[in-house]
Chains A and B, each alone.
Chain A
């Protein structure tokens, strides 16, 4: 890899980093607007046009609030908890392919932080570490409610990771690779009808999506912070920007979960008729081959972000629609419904591959 390519890749990583933060910032705004829309209210409209500066106002509020340490708290771990939550949330977007390649003469830039051949496992590893932020923060607060929230977060994440992994195995059986870029590229082949994975894996997608809700601690699975029983759960004792980091990391996790679902099941940066459009650009508009590919790549990135935003909207829609599960219901759903279903899905996929129905 030449120095120039490394420089470009560094820029891509910085862009992904910035975008994650920007999207998470505006998720807080979107959450309020969507909540207001679903409850037939007006929502935030004071700060700036349409309330668009609301996240800035929130940030100022968060930063200027009093920094509070509960008595008997483990101070180092109390600070370490939210930092860890934030770091793990930001790390997982590194392997997600946000677009195809851009070609400028000899330089080829992939719109992806890093390409590794165990990309999906990397995401899984980082996601499974995310729970430590919640656990450490909840434990270090020296508060019973925080501890209960932390313990709930741990058991919930462990339980739903299993079903999530099993749902993923069915996709991997078809793709034969763990690289997210390869999985995306396989979902669209030039010159033939080729369907996104959602068509071949409807059951797997439903399982994966349910688990994504549980992994990101979103309603109806937000038991770790369930305010009716646990006040605020693991972040009961947190104030100021440390609380802000926890809330922020949740939105980044939603963004990453949406991106992963779009890539695995909804074709990633592929969009319908991309090859026809490329041919048309080259033959009718006289655009060079590289330039045509670059245009398609740009449109593909826009398409991927469209899918991601649709998923983020779905996350928020569900939050303001469904009530919260009870804890035993959550465990029963995870262990005795989703895991058997996921195993059945693996068997089904294996059978269909063996008999050549799907590949």
Chain B
């Protein structure tokens, strides 16, 4: 493997810790939210629009699949949809803190966990479905890739919604999920948990698997595009599980250690599905090609910034990262690096 070039560029600077970052489907715009309540939208030409989006921390900021809108949610209990100019398009409010949000594929609809409820909002301002409150706060939400199912994790398990206000299924489990992700083939849903475990359900029949023994709670999980591999991070360690064939039952994961700080971002590159990217609080960014024998690491790069979040651009081998001091940083790898201005 020839060494890859890395080009680092600061796209914008927010007033404080960056909680969420996302790149638009065309790869041209980056959105980021801060605990200061500010959101910025930066484009590749260097233009930045910054605006106050929430009273208190912005928890998530994400592009709609159409690329027309940005959704943000905050600890003020608000879910808001903005256009590219930063004008408010729609909003919804519920009692409690927002914890997570996810756009549905096919349709400008967003779902967020706010307090004990999943709140759904359309870009035209309509609330699509009114869900009832759970007995505990919603910690995480995600859609199936076809947009038919919505999964909501809360203390006590995962609820599956499909069209109606009541869950079509619930996967009860006495634990506290923190993050949830569904495989793109729709077969599996997995949560990373407070008790340092992963919990996996087969969506069709609810059969479950549990992976335990991580050093800390699991805040990062990522599915490969082909649904055959699942990666997770706990503290500075990454594990990748093989979901081909009968699944990972009884198998050992591929372990990857390259960071010395807590991993704050973990995703497979949409451009090259064999590449797993990770970022950590010690400023390190790693690219991996997970293999059972030998070295999985392709590259390790030190940004000398305390990273707080990371995501890939959908159109190039480029990462967008947030930092604890408010910077939004773009990292371009390999041949793409030379194309940068």
Co-assembled chains A and B: no
What residues make up the interface of A, taking CB atoms closer than 8 Å to B? none
